[in-house]
Amino acid sequence: MVLVRGEGTRVWDAEGKEYLDFVSGISVNNLGHCHPRVVAAVREQAGLLLHASNLYHNRPQAELARRLAELSIGGRVFFCNSGAEAVEAAIKLARRLWWRRREGRGEAPQAADVPRVLVFEGAFHGRTLAALAATGRYLDGFAPLPPGFVRVPFNDLAAAEEALDATFCAVLVEPVQGEGGVVPAEAGFLGGLRRLCDRTGALLIFDEIQTGLGRTGRLFAYQHYGVVPDVLTLAKALGGGLPLGAVVAAGEAADAFRPGDHGSTFGGNPVACAAALAALDVLVEEDLPARAAALGDLLLGRLRELAARHPVVREVRGLGLMAGLELAVPARPLVEAARQAGLLVNCTAERVVRLLPPLIITEDDVERAVAVLDAVLAASVSRPQASVL
């Protein structure tokens, strides 16, 4: 399928077929496609300054850094171009701080020293080498990977407590695992990690690349849990559809990088930052996180009704407009059947149908999407030989 045009919650392919988009570029197009204010900001900035280099400041970058820090955890912001780059930067930041503290204590580095990062089963942090090592899947054929990542089960605080000690520079966690199958952190888990980090000195890094910027019904998912991280990684929806990633670092972590420690040619590009500022304005002015919370309740309620009618649905999980339908069978055929019926959803973790609609969807859009899923679930049961399921 070749997509050629998008507007609001709809996209069109090269044959002119229209789709209701419940993928949103995997939580990128949170304002829908081609939001007029984002498009206008891109056009205006493109005519002013396309690129300048981080040897100099540019206005959209500085303004965006200020707004992101104000709206989240304070501190300072590093800009890059993607989620994986944001994760890489956060890992480098945590290692740099760990070594800095050691230097501060006058301890000479030993060859055997490895500052470690605690990560979780089912995680996804990107596809570059260190991000892949943190992810722990999709590794085959890419050895060797950077060392220093220790993995324990998600939502298992006792396992995290047992693993964590002063050799860890960071705990890296998604408040709601996305690629892992839409799995929210349980109450108490993130708060428990916060206490463990405070005890051992590890930085608490929340990867909100997928959950951030309104998706879960709050501007950032950590706000549901009342737990504040030291470091926040952002990307996906941040650039309003343009490539942009960011690391927000507060407290001691904000000073871990000194000039020259890390860098990116395109990071903080003025056009991407102008698009991000426009997208952030719309998100805040229209209170789209609240809309995501309300529409997410409707969507999850309807999906639970579907689950009650279709035994092939094992579980419905989600937070705000980040929803997953876990099936007893592989989800890909159902995703394809929905596409043919004019609804874009995607498959993650093999058996999970993931729904990430734009935050601007209407109740009608929700009802339409659920009707399509209802029909394809029913068809899959009446025609199992067609291997829809």
Residues of this chain that interact with ligand PLP (CB under 6 A) are 82-84, 87, 124-126, 174, 178-179, 207, 209-210, 235-236
Smallest distance from ligand PLP to CB 245, Å: 6
* Chain residue at closest Cβ approach to ligand PLP: 83
Q: Cβ 211 to ligand PLP, closest distance in Å? A: 7
CB of 100 to ligand PLP, least distance (A): 26
| Cross-strand pairs, 119 | 151
Closest CA to 172 of 187, 192, 198, 150: 150
Using CA atoms, how far apart are residues 185 and 133, in angstroms rounded to an integer? 21
3-state SS class at 204: strand
Annotated active-site residue in 124, 168, 206, 257? 124
Q: Among residues 207, 230, 257, 365, which one is catalytic?
A: 207
Q: Has 207 been annotated as catalytic?
A: yes
Length of the chain: 389
Handedness of CA 30, 36, 39, 40 (dihedral sign): negative
Which of these is catalytic: 79, 168, 236, 365? 236
Residue closer to ligand PLP, measured from CB, 174 or 326? 174
Distance between CA atoms of residues 31 and 282, nearest Å: 8
Least distance CB 107 / ligand PLP (angstroms): 33
Query: Any catalytic annotation for residue 22?
Result: no
CA distance 248 to 123: 20
Q: Name the residue nearer to ligand PLP (CB basis): 176 or 316.
A: 176
| CA distance linking residue 349 with residue 44, whole number of Å | 40
- Could you tell me the CA-to-CA distances from 178 to 86, 102, 235, 350 in Å, in that order? 17, 35, 14, 13
Helix or strand (DSSP H, E) at 233: strand 231-234
Q: Which is nearer to ligand PLP, 215 or 310 (CB)?
A: 215
Looking at beta carbons only, is 78 or 389 nearer to ligand PLP? 78
Catalytic residues: 124, 207, 236
